[in-house]
Amino acid sequence: MAILKIARMGHPVLMRPAEPVADPTSPEIKRVVADMIETMDDADGRGLAATQVHINKRIVVFRPPPDDPKQPEGPNGPVLALINPEITALGEEMDEGWEGCLSVPGLRGVVPRYTKIRYRGVTPSGEKIDRTVSGYHARVVQHEVDHLDGVLYPQRMKDLGLLVFESEFERFLGQGTETGDEAHAE
Ligand code: NI
């Protein structure tokens, strides 16, 4: 296992779409996933996409948040690694919420996301995942899969007046409203 270097906004690796993984259960992919989880935890992140660690493959890891009754695991609960993830928005409804990103350190922003989505993918052990989620869980998945398409959260923002420094966010805006998918991560 190894802690990988995290690319920051402006690096070309974050701008190009990632390639599908041909064999999700290969030892190479298991190794990549293990390194990604170690890197995410070291950075105190909620989620991480392979492109953020200079690997141009369609892989994300994240911890399903505790606000989904079907997902009892908390912030330190089991991590989900999803290979070749696909998202379908269920309905038109969108919510706005604060997000942070390991590749955009020191900032927070208000981002509109679909309230309810279905996501599918495969785990490194070959298990097929097919879930319908909403709220925070849906937000995390949309943020991470955006990374695989070369999109960072500021590109999704409607009002750049709500792109703020983390320290000011905590001082003036926090108060438990943070719903970012990489909250507390730098
Ligand atoms: Ni991110």
pLDDT per residue as tens digits for the range 52-93: 999 999 999 999 866 555 555 545 568 999 999 999 999 999
User: What value does the mean pLDDT of the chain take?
Assistant: 90
Q: Give the whole-number percent of the chain exceeding pLDDT 90.
A: 81
pLDDT of residue 13: 97
Answer yes or no: is pLDDT of 102 > 70: yes
Q: What is the DSSP letter of 71?
A: -
Annotated catalytic residue: which of 99, 144, 166, 182? 144
Q: What is the mean pLDDT of residues 171-181?
A: 62
Q: Which of 37, 8, 160, 184 is nearest to 99 (CA)?
A: 184
**Mean pLDDT for the stretch of residues 156-170:** 95
CA gap 183, 82 in Å, rounded: 20
Which residues, 6+ apart, have CB-to-CB distance to 167 below 8 Å? 106
Whether residue 19 lies in the annotated active site: no
Spatial separation of the C-alpha atoms in residues 104 and 9, rounded to whole Å = 6
CA 70 / ligand 1 centre spacing (Å): 24
Do the beta carbons of residue 158 and residue 170 sit within 8 Å? Answer: no
The environment of the single-atom ion ligand 1, i.e. residues with CB closer than 5 A, is: 101
Q: In angstroms, what is the span from residue 93 Cα to ligand 1's centroid?
A: 22
Tell me how far apart the 2 most distant CA atoms of the chain are, in Å: 47
Note the pTM of the prediction, 2 decimals: 0.89
The predicted-structure confidence for 16-60, as pLDDT tens digits, reads as follows: 999 999 999 999 999 999 999 999 999 999 999 999 999 999 999
Check residue 173 and give its pLDDT.
Answer: 82
Architecture category of domain 12-173 in CATH? Alpha-Beta Complex (3.90)
Which region, left, alpha or beta, applies to residue 82 given φ > 0 means left and ψ of -120 to 50 means alpha? beta
Cα separation, 137 vs 124, in Å, equals: 20
Residue 180: what pLDDT?
46
Distance 181 CA to ligand 1 centre (A): 8
Scan for tokens 């509109």, then name that residue.
112
DSSP state of 172: I
pLDDT (0 to 100) of residue 72: 53
Tell me the percentage of the chain whose pLDDT exceeds 70. 86
- Output the CA 142–ligand 1 centroid distance in Å: 10
Q: Give the tens place of pLDDT for each residue, 138-160.
A: 999 999 999 999 999 999 999 99
User: What residue segments make up the domains of the chain, in order of their start?
Assistant: 12-173
Q: Strands, E, within 28-89: which ranges?
A: 47-49, 59-62, 80-89
